[in-house]
């Protein structure tokens, strides 16, 4: 298939559609292009609003294009799944990158639950690979579940932090630090003393998780580095570290294993989401659920008994 940015954008819109005929076409397209996928490096980037993700991704993207790469940027915006609003969809972001012919930028799918949004982004990633993008960046904002989703679809997960002491504790609390293969302290030029303190603190925090991460990737331990994307300081070093990570990962053959296990988890996650949706849309379940749930809350029915009653209902033919 011959892709340009316009046909790629249209194909992604097709697979985000909820219409049944679109979904059938999208599945056929995915199956067709699947042999041409997988040849990119998939880089996940997360950080709270204001950490400077857009500036960093624009600088990095232009840097990579200058080296001959083609760069796709996708986003998962958890706020869009709740409110329809968008933290990441702002069209004025990454102005220079977005007009570059070697870049493709796509905002977050704007509807569905987080699992559905993440699934659409994974599918979009495959289309970008088939269209010849060899670096795919998936970005999200720092709100826990969306970071887990991005880490579960990328080869390397980077957490961006501000140079102040509170942030690393925030990340530890949410269990995100243990997902990070690399932590970048951005805007380090604003307060170099604070940046150095943050680097020391985060390095010490990462040590807590090092057993787990070591068992995942024997030759790479999570690292911390300082950067100022706005001043273009540290972006070169960032890509050197990514390349080193990639060399070690591919070298010990864990690269394919990680991707296979990601695909498998993705399949089961979609199955479980689908089963829940089928259950909650089942006519008999829908009609009886409120009363049964109320009986559980008021202590008239044991929760396990209620579950068995509802599961029995769900097995009956749904004559909606």
* Site residues (vs a second copy, CB under 8 A): 23, 27, 30-31, 34-35, 37-38, 119, 122-123, 126, 169, 172-173, 175, 178, 208-209, 211-212, 260, 263-264, 266-268, 270-272, 274-276, 278-279, 293, 296-297, 299-308, 310-311, 314-315, 317
Closest contact distance (angstroms) between CB of 274 and a second copy is 4
Contact between 216 and 222 under an 8 Å Cβ cutoff? The reply is no
Give the list of residues 6+ apart from residue 4 with CB closer than 8 angstroms, or none: none
Q: Which is nearer to a second copy, 272 or 283 (CB)?
A: 272
Which is nearer to a second copy, 67 or 320 (by Cβ)?
320
The distance of closest approach from Cβ of residue 171 to a second copy in the complex, given in angstroms and rounded to an integer, is 11
**CB closer to a second copy out of 264 and 287:** 264
Name the residue among 103, 50, 116 with its Cα closest to residue 74.
Answer: 103
Q: At closest approach, how far in Å is the CB of 267 from a second copy? A: 4
d(CA 125, CA 129): 6
Task: Label residue 6 exposed, middle or buried (CB < 10 Å: 0-12, 13-18, 19+).
Answer: exposed
Nearer to a second copy, 96 or 302 (CB): 302
Q: 27 or 90: whose CB is closer to a second copy?
A: 27
Least distance CB 70 / a second copy (angstroms): 21
Give 189's contacts (C-beta < 8 A, 6+ positions apart).
228, 230, 231, 233
Q: What is the sign of the dihedral through the CA atoms of 58, 60, 66 and 69? A: negative
Residue with Cβ nearer a second copy (192 or 312): 312
**Distance separating alpha carbons of residues 115 and 271, to the nearest angstrom:** 11
The separation between CA 244 and the C-alpha centre of its own chain, rounded to angstroms, equals 22
Using alpha carbons, select from 172, 177, 167, 220 the residue that is nearest to residue 197. Answer: 167
Shortest distance, CB of residue 140 to a second copy, whole angstroms? 19
From the CB of 207, what's the least distance to a second copy, in Å?
A: 9
Angle between helices 254-281 and 114-130 (to 10 degrees): 140
**Residue closer to a second copy (CB basis): 190 or 268:** 268
Least distance between a second copy and beta carbon 271 (Å):
5
């Amino acid at each position: 298939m011959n892709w340009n940015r316009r046909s790629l954008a249209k194909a992604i819109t097709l697979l985000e559609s909820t219409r049944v005929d679109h979904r059938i076409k999208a599945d056929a397209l995915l199956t067709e292009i699947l042999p041409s996928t997988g040849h990119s490096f998939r880089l996940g980037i997360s950080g709270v609003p204001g950490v400077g993700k857009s500036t960093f991704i624009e600088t990095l993207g232009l840097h990579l294009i200058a080296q001959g790469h083609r760069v796709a940027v996708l986003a998962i915006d958890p706020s869009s799944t709740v409110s329809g609003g968008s933290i990441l969809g702002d069209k004025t972001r990454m102005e220079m990158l977005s007009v570059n012919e070697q870049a493709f930028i796509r905002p977050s799918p704007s509807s569905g639950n987080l699992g559905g949004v993440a699934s659409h982004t994974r599918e979009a990633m495959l289309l970008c690979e088939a269209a010849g993008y060899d670096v795919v960046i998936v970005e999200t904002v720092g709100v826990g579940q969306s970071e887990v989703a991005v880490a579960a679809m990328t080869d390397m997960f980077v957490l961006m932090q501000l140079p102040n002491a509170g942030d690393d504790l925030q990340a530890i609390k949410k269990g995100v630090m243990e997902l990070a293969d690399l932590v970048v302290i951005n805007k380090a030029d604003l307060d170099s003393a604070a940046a150095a303190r943050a680097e020391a603190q985060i390095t010490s925090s990462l040590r807590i998780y090092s057993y787990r991460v070591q068992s995942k990737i024997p030759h790479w331990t999570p690292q911390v580095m300082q950067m100022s994307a706005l001043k273009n300081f540290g972006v070169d070093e960032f890509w050197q570290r990514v390349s080193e990570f990639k060399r070690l990962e591919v070298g010990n053959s864990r690269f394919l294993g990680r991707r296979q296990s990601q695909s498998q988890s993705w399949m089961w996650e979609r199955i479980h989401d689908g089963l829940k949706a089928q259950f909650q849309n089942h006519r008999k379940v829908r009609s009886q659920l409120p009363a049964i749930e109320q009986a559980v809350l008021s202590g008239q029915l044991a929760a396990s008994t209620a579950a068995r009653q509802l599961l029995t209902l769900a097995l009956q033919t749904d004559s909606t």
